[in-house]
Chains A and B, each alone.
Chain A
Amino acid sequence: MPQTLFDKIWEAHGVGRRADGRDLIYIDRHVLHELHAPHAFEQLKNQERPVRRPDLTFSMQDHTVATLPGRNDETNPPGAAFLRAMREGSERHGIRLFDIDDPEQGISHVVAPELGMVLPGATHAVPDSHASTVGGLGALAFGCGTSELAHILATQTMALKRPQRMLVRLEGRLAPHVGAKDVALRLIGELGVAGARGHVVEYAGAAVRAMPIEARMTLCNLNIEMGGRSGFVAPDDSTFSWLAGRPFAPQGAMWERALARWRTLASDEGAAFERECELDCSTLEPQITWGTDPSQVLGISERVPDPGHADAGRRAAMESALAYMGLAPGMPLAGLPVNRVFIGSCTNSRLPDLEAAADVVRGRRVAEGIIAMIVPGSTTVKRAAEALGLDRIFRESGFFWGESGCSMCAGGNGDRGEPGERCVSTTNRNFEHRQGPKVRTHLVSPETAAATALMGRITDVRQLRQG
Chain B
Amino acid sequence: MMISFTTHTGVAVPFPGDDINTDQIAPVQAMRSLKPDYKALLFMRDRRRDDGGEDPDFVLNKPQFRNPGMLVAGHNFGAGSSREAAVWGMLANNIRVIVARSFADIYRENCLQNGLLPIVLASVDAQAFEQRVIAVDGAAPFTVDLMAQRISGPGGPDVAFELPPADRMRLLEGLDDIGLTLKHADEIASWEKRTASEQPWLQTAVDSRA
Binding site for B on A (CB under 8 A): 15-16, 18-22, 24, 26, 28-29, 35-36, 38-39, 47, 49, 52, 55-56, 58, 78, 81-82, 85, 117, 119, 122, 127-129, 143-148, 150-151, 154-157, 159, 161, 163, 193-194, 197-198, 224, 227, 229, 247-251, 254, 257-258, 261, 293, 313, 316-317, 410-412, 419, 429, 431-434, 437-438
By beta carbon, the residue of chain A nearest B18 is A317
By beta carbon, the residue of chain B nearest A193 is B19
Q: How far is the CB of B165 from chain A (nearest CB, A)?
A: 7
Give Cα A179–Cα B124 distance, bound, in whole angstroms. 43
By beta carbon, the residue of chain A nearest B113 is A147
Given contact pairs A15-B187, A250-B200, enumerate 14 new A-B contacts (beta carbons under 8 Å): A15-B184, A26-B191, A36-B83, A39-B84, A55-B206, A143-B106, A147-B113, A154-B182, A156-B188, A194-B18, A194-B102, A197-B102, A198-B105, A412-B31
Determine the chain B residues whose CB is within 8 A of the CB of A251 once the complex forms: 208
- With contacts A15-B188, A258-B201 known, is A194 near B19, CB below 8 A? yes
A143 and B110 form a contact (CB under 8 A): no
B109 interface residue, CB < 8 Å from A?
yes
A433 and B204 form a contact (CB under 8 A): no
A129 and B81 form a contact (CB under 8 A): yes
- With contacts A82-B34, A128-B82, A254-B201 known, is A15 near B191, CB below 8 A? yes
Residue in B31, B180, B199 whose beta carbon sits within 8 Å of that of A258 in the complex? B199
A19 and B180 form a contact (CB under 8 A): yes
B59 interface residue, CB < 8 Å from A?
no
Determine the chain A residues whose CB is within 8 A of the CB of B83 once the complex forms: 35-36, 145-146
B166 and A22 form a contact (CB under 8 A): yes
Determine the chain A residues whose CB is within 8 A of the CB of B192 once the complex forms: 26, 156
Q: How far is the CB of A154 from chain B (nearest CB, A)?
A: 5
Give Cα A410–Cα B189 distance, bound, in whole angstroms. 39
A248 and B18 form a contact (CB under 8 A): no
Give Cα A227–Cα B19 distance, bound, in whole angstroms. 10
**Stretch of B6-14, B72-80, B143-151, B152-160 that contacts chain A:** B72-80
- The number of A-B residue pairs with CB atoms under 8 Å apart is 192
Determine the chain A residues whose CB is within 8 A of the CB of B27 once the complex forms: 433
Residue in B34, B203, B207 whose beta carbon sits within 8 Å of that of A248 in the complex? B207
Interface string of B172-210 (1 = CB under 8 A from A): 000101101111110110011001000111111111110
Q: Enumerate 11 A-B pairs (CB-CB under 8 Å) in ascending A order.
A: A16-B188, A24-B188, A58-B205, A146-B83, A150-B178, A155-B181, A155-B185, A197-B102, A227-B76, A248-B205, A293-B19
Give Cα A177–Cα B81 distance, bound, in whole angstroms. 29
Count B-side interface residues using an 8 Å CB cutoff.
64
A147 and B165 form a contact (CB under 8 A): no
B76 and A38 form a contact (CB under 8 A): no
A247 and B79 form a contact (CB under 8 A): no
Binding site for A on B (CB under 8 A): 1, 17-19, 21, 23-24, 27-29, 31-34, 45, 50, 75-76, 79-84, 87, 102, 104-106, 109-110, 113-114, 164-167, 169-170, 175, 177-178, 180-185, 187-188, 191-192, 195, 199-209
B84 and A145 form a contact (CB under 8 A): yes
A78 and B32 form a contact (CB under 8 A): yes
Give Cα A15–Cα B209 distance, bound, in whole angstroms. 32
Determine the chain A residues whose CB is within 8 A of the CB of B45 once the complex forms: 432-433, 437
Give Cα A127–Cα B83 distance, bound, in whole angstroms. 8
- With contacts A26-B191, A147-B113, A437-B45 known, is A247 near B201, CB below 8 A? no
By beta carbon, the residue of chain B nearest A116 is B208
A16 and B187 form a contact (CB under 8 A): yes
Q: How far is the CB of B106 from chain A (nearest CB, A)?
A: 6
B202 and A122 form a contact (CB under 8 A): yes
Give Cα A194–Cα B74 distance, bound, in whole angstroms. 12
Q: How far is the CB of B33 from chain A (nearest CB, A)?
A: 7
- Which 4 A/B pairs are nearest by Cβ-Cβ distance? A147-B113, A20-B166, A78-B32, A21-B166
Determine the chain A residues whose CB is within 8 A of the CB of B200 once the complex forms: 250, 254, 257
Determine the chain B residues whose CB is within 8 A of the CB of A143 once the complex forms: 82, 106
